[in-house]
Amino acid sequence: MTYKQSYNLWLSSDAVDEKTKAELEAITNDENEIEDRFYKDLEFGTAGLRGVLGAGTNRMNVYVVKKTTQGLADYIINNFPDGKEMGVAISYDSRINSDVFAREAACVLAANGIKVYLSNRLRPVPELSFAVRHYGCAAGIMITASHNPPKYNGYKVYGADGSQLAPEDADKVLARIEKTDIFEGAKTCSMEDGVASGLITVFGDELDDAYLAEVKKQQLNPEAVKIAADKFKMIYTPLHGSGNIPVRRILDEVGFKNVYLVNEQIEPDGTFPTVKSPNPEERSAFDLAIELAEKEDIDFIFGTDPDCDRIGVVVRKTDGEYIALTGNMVGALLTEYVLSSRKAVNNLPDNGVVIKTVVTSYMSDAICKAYGVEVMNVLTGFKFIGEKIKEFEKTGSHEYLLGFEESYGYLVGTYARDKDAVVASMLIAEMAAFYSLKGMSLYDALMELYEKYGTYRERLMSITLEGIEGVEKIKRIMAGIRNNPPKTVAGHTVNYFTDISARTKTNLATGETASINLPKSNVLLFEMDGEAWCAARPSGTEPKIKFYFGTRADSVEKAEADLDAMLSFIQNLIDTIE
């Protein structure tokens, strides 16, 4: 079926509501818009669905949600003997239509005889991951588009272990989705009938109590909080998202007394009216928080994204400037804090392990080496960290200490299997309080790490290429680099070129190629002299190609200059690829 035929089908179908038809009729003369909405189905992968809200097969709407949920229902029924009784946990964040999509999914599952545990209000991603394990579910659904702009929403699927679906399971669900007609294929019922039948159970505060009890167990220095609590001050913003209640509650329960809130950003709001983007990776998201910090003389700020799986931190330098710490910087600080705190009480296991992704800073490698702790690298995506936790539970080979990725996601503890900004908020605040007792800010602590391990700095270059042409351009860029990898980058000799899609690592000096023990993924990695490196990968959730850079130097200035040179080199390389 062509995109135009699909468009006309939606216009003529009795299954499509009048509001949706009116939306489609409004674009009758916009051929590019019609094509973009209907040239493909919204892609379902290991991150589930994510797309722009609106009518069409390549958009997030109730028809796509119901079709996807029917595919998931068929997968559960055919792959879990007790799947109907095990059920599915569902939660959602503050985005536009998140609650609507959650209820639609619940009704489809109930109509298929599958038990549903549905959240009575917005809750974070990590709590949904916890809920899957807490209720013993076959799967979980989280309606969210993480930190994307307001026009997006999404549909994440979790497996029975609480991790996002593994690639092989995502493929099985996709196969079921593709067999489902978007209008006639999904069974459904009313919410009232689902609840009355006992198939839909709405959960509330009781899950919060169980979840936060597990979070609280991850404290490392409760005594430091107790000593510092009267004087130590912080600012928190949930950026209009789901972190407001659980983050404030956990901070209160562990004893923090001076938590200032950005009042304009407390209430959930899917339009995110006070920020350009609800992304804690961007300093601009903290403009209001910094204004408050200057007024109240506070040097520690943090904020969580809409689904509360990522956390951003802003600190004040000694000269008074507020700077946003990168995910890599916070990861390094947490690595040092977790390992040193456990060593101080003789609780650092011989088989301890820290897990990070292949595009995350090498600084944690240096820290772990100093403490005799192993580092494991996995593919980008926290599900791969979750898979390792599951493996360790079966084999007993390692004790999980910390997992993190450069994109501002962290997890301490194994109660959840996705990044958790609630536990990260508690521990980063505890860490800041701990250093405050030494007369240090988190910025001072970072500078101390640089003195101890060397100045590691990283940079991310993200290029947005939307539409069909953008998809093809990204493919050409990746193919161009893959087929002709540079042997030097900004004066650095490339020692090893790794193509993770081919699962090979090549020594460019000798030409020798060895296999690597990572699943296939469209990622290219260059390891260079001087502990410099860069990597390229298309985003799995946005129309972007991302380039990651890292280096080590003896000063911040030299490291930043090196990053500038590498970024410029790669940009020039991209410009030569048509």
E strands within 256-341? 259-261, 300-304, 311-316, 322-325
Across residues 390-411, what is the average pLDDT? 97
Q: How confident is the model at residue 466 (pLDDT cuts 50, 70, 90)?
A: confident
E strands within 168-299? 200-203, 234-237, 259-261
Give me the pLDDT at residue 389, please. 97
Pairing of strands 533-538, 504-507: unpaired
Report the percent of the chain where pLDDT is more than 90: 94
Average pLDDT of the chain?
96
C-alpha closest to that of 388 among 379, 537, 410: 379
Report the percent of the chain where pLDDT is more than 70: 100
CA angle (195, 198, 200) in 5-degree steps: 50
Helices (H), 437-578: 442-453, 467-483, 556-575
> CA-CA distance, 115 to 101, in Å (whole number)?
17
Residue 545 phi, psi dihedral angles, 5° rounding: -115, 135
Give me the pLDDT at residue 487, please. 94
Give me the pLDDT at residue 278, please. 95
> Which is higher by pLDDT, 43 or 333?
333
* Element holding 104 (H helix, E strand): helix 98-111
Q: How confident is the model at residue 166 (pLDDT cuts 50, 70, 90)?
A: confident
Give me the count of residues in the chain. 578
Give me the pLDDT at residue 167, please. 86
The model's pLDDT over 478-495, given as tens digits with 9 standing for 90+, comes to: 999 999 999 999 999 999
Q: How confident is the model at residue 379 (pLDDT cuts 50, 70, 90)?
A: very high
Quote the tokens at residue 547. 């380039």
Give me the pLDDT at residue 515, please. 96
Q: How confident is the model at residue 410 (pLDDT cuts 50, 70, 90)?
A: very high
> CA-CA distance, 539 to 474, in Å (whole number)?
10
Across residues 303-316, what is the average pLDDT? 98
The answer on pLDDT for 221 being more than 80 is yes
The answer on pLDDT for 540 being more than 80 is no
Which residues sit opposite 258 in a β-bridge?
A: none
Give me the pLDDT at residue 308, please. 98
The answer on pLDDT for 543 being more than 90 is no
Give me the pLDDT at residue 422, please. 98
Which residues have C-beta within 8 Å of that of residue 417, sequence separation ≥ 6? 129, 133, 158, 161, 162, 163, 382, 383, 386, 389, 390, 411
> Which is higher by pLDDT, 471 or 3?
3
> CA-CA distance, 443 to 356, in Å (whole number)?
22
Across residues 538-556, what is the average pLDDT? 91
Establish whether 407 is a catalytic residue: no
Residue 455 phi, psi dihedral angles, 5° rounding: -85, 100
> CA-CA distance, 309 to 526, in Å (whole number)?
29
Give me the pLDDT at residue 47, please. 80
The answer on pLDDT for 577 being more than 90 is no
> CA-CA distance, 51 to 346, in Å (whole number)?
48
Pairing of strands 259-261, 234-237: parallel
Give me the pLDDT at residue 539, please. 86
The model's pLDDT over 317-340, given as tens digits with 9 standing for 90+, comes to: 989 999 999 999 999 999 999 999
10 burial via Cβ count (<10 Å: 0-12, 13-18, 19+): buried
The answer on pLDDT for 542 being more than 80 is no
**Four-residue CA torsion sign, 386, 502, 505, 533:** negative
> CA-CA distance, 463 to 241, in Å (whole number)?
26
Give me the pLDDT at residue 241, please. 97
Q: Which of 146, 163, 341, 361 is catalytic?
A: 146
The model's pLDDT over 266-282, given as tens digits with 9 standing for 90+, comes to: 999 999 999 999 999 99
Give me the pLDDT at residue 9, please. 97
Give me the pLDDT at residue 334, please. 98
Give me the pLDDT at residue 463, please. 92
C-alpha closest to that of 565 among 576, 577, 554, 549: 549
518 burial via Cβ count (<10 Å: 0-12, 13-18, 19+): middle
12 burial via Cβ count (<10 Å: 0-12, 13-18, 19+): exposed
Q: How confident is the model at residue 236 (pLDDT cuts 50, 70, 90)?
A: very high
The model's pLDDT over 50-81, given as tens digits with 9 standing for 90+, comes to: 999 999 999 999 999 999 999 999 999 999 99
C-alpha closest to that of 139 among 99, 179, 173, 100: 173
C-alpha closest to that of 110 among 66, 159, 143, 153: 66
Q: How confident is the model at residue 403 (pLDDT cuts 50, 70, 90)?
A: very high
Domains parsed from the chain with CATH numbers: 40-205 (3.40.120.10), 231-453 (3.40.120.10), 455-575 (3.30.310.50)
Quote the tokens at residue 345. 């009480």
Give me the pLDDT at residue 296, please. 97
> Which is higher by pLDDT, 43 or 190?
190
Which residues have C-beta within 8 Å of that of residue 230, sequence separation ≥ 6? 257, 258
> CA-CA distance, 522 to 540, in Å (whole number)?
10
Residue 191 to residues 97, 117, 194, 337, Cα–Cα distance (Å): 16, 13, 5, 47
Kindly report the number of other CB atoms within 10 A of residue 214's CB atom. 18
Residue 136 phi, psi dihedral angles, 5° rounding: 70, 40
The answer on pLDDT for 578 being more than 80 is no
